[in-house]
Amino acid sequence: MFKAMQYTGNKDQDYQLVLKQLKALNEGETDHIAILANASALLNQCMDHINWVGFYLWKDDQLILGPFQGLPACIRIPSGRGVCGTAVQDRQTQRISDVNQFPGHIACDSASQSELVVPIIIDDNIYGVLDIDSPVTGRFDETDQRYIEAFVEELIQALK
């Protein structure tokens, strides 16, 4: 599910291309904000049927809005609250097909219907989360989850 541009239409090959693009964008860069800003722009450019993609960073025992693409968003999210807070609390990816069925979902954008959130853990410490929202119910599948988790692993290498 990629936008037309230079992608092949083969989901695995397209995600592999995105991972290569992320690595190239981060080569030699050390500024975390620049790395995260480009990462959110890259995903926004290549993924279709999404309406928000970005990062929440763990500071002062809560998630605080970081670089993103999309409409204005919630600024602070406590651990355990909503999909992002649950990803932090449980330290595991949350792939939610229908956010309206998720207890305690935080509706920053009422158009969002499904969500994929991957925690970013560096040296066993929560750094933040990558959050991707879609206006389509059931937008994210196992392939999306696997490659977005690999995307986060590539980010972790750049952030270290």
**Contact present, 94 and 113 (Cβ < 8 Å):** no
Q: What is the mean pLDDT of residues 110-124?
A: 95
Spatial neighbors of 18 by CB under 8 A, at least 6 apart, are 42, 43, 46, 147, 151
Cα separation of 142 and 160, whole Å? Answer: 27
Q: Give residue 7's pLDDT.
A: 61
Q: Specify the pLDDT at position 104.
A: 80
Express as a percent the part of the chain with pLDDT over 70.
95
On the question of pLDDT at 1 being above 50, the answer is: no
pTM of the model: 0.94
Q: Over 80: is that where the pLDDT of 113 sits?
A: yes
Residue 45: pLDDT band (50, 70, 90) is very high
For strand 52-59 and strand 125-134, is the pairing parallel, antiparallel, or unpaired? antiparallel
Q: Tell me the pLDDT tens digit for each residue of 8-26.
A: 678 999 999 999 999 999 9
pLDDT level of residue 6 (50, 70, 90 thresholds): low
Q: What is the DSSP letter of 1?
A: -
89 pLDDT above the threshold of 80: yes
Asked if pLDDT for residue 4 goes beyond 50, the answer is: no
Model confidence over 32-43: pLDDT tens digits? 999 999 999 999
Domains of the chain and any CATH numbers = 11-159 (3.30.450.40)
Q: Average pLDDT in the 63-77 region?
A: 96
pLDDT score for 81: 95
Q: How far apart are CA 21 and CA 155, in angstroms?
A: 12
The C-alpha atoms of residue 79 and residue 91 are separated, in whole angstroms, by 10
For residues 135 and 108, the model is more confident at 135
Record the tokens describing residue 29, joined without a space. Answer: 């860069």
Average pLDDT over residues 98-105: 89
Query: If DSSP codes are grouped into helix, strand and coil, which group holds residue 20?
Result: helix
